[in-house]
Structure 1
Amino acid sequence: MLSVKSLVPVLGLLLVLSGHGFYFADAIIGGQFARPAQFPYQGSVVVDGVNQCGCSVISRTTVLTGAHCVAGATNNRVKVILGTSDFNEGDGQTFGVKKIISHPNFNFISRDYDIALLWLSRPAQFSDIIRSISLAPAGSNYLENATAIVSGFGEINSRGDRESRLKYAKIQLWGRRYCNSANIPSITDRMICAGDPLGRQGPCKGDSGGALTLGGIQIAISSWGFGCGAPYRPSIFTYVPIVREWIDANING
Structure 2
Amino acid sequence: MTDDTTAGAEDVAEALREGRPIREHGPYLVLIADERLEFTKRHIAVATPTGDEILEAAGVLDRASHQVLQLLVTGDAEGLRPSETTDLHAGGVERFVVFRTDRLYRFTLGGRVLDWGANRISGRALLTLARKDPDAFDVWLDRAGRQDRVIDLDETVSLGGSDVERFMTKAVDIAIFVNTRPRRVSKRSLTYLDVVKLAYPDGPFGENYVYTVDYLRGPSRNPEGSLVEGDSVEIKNGMRFDVSFTDKS
Common fold by TM > 0.5? no
TM-score scaled by length of structure 2: 0.21
Rg larger for: 2
TM-score scaled by length of structure 1: 0.21
Task: For CA contacts below 8 A with separation 6 or more, give which structure has more relative contact order.
Answer: 1
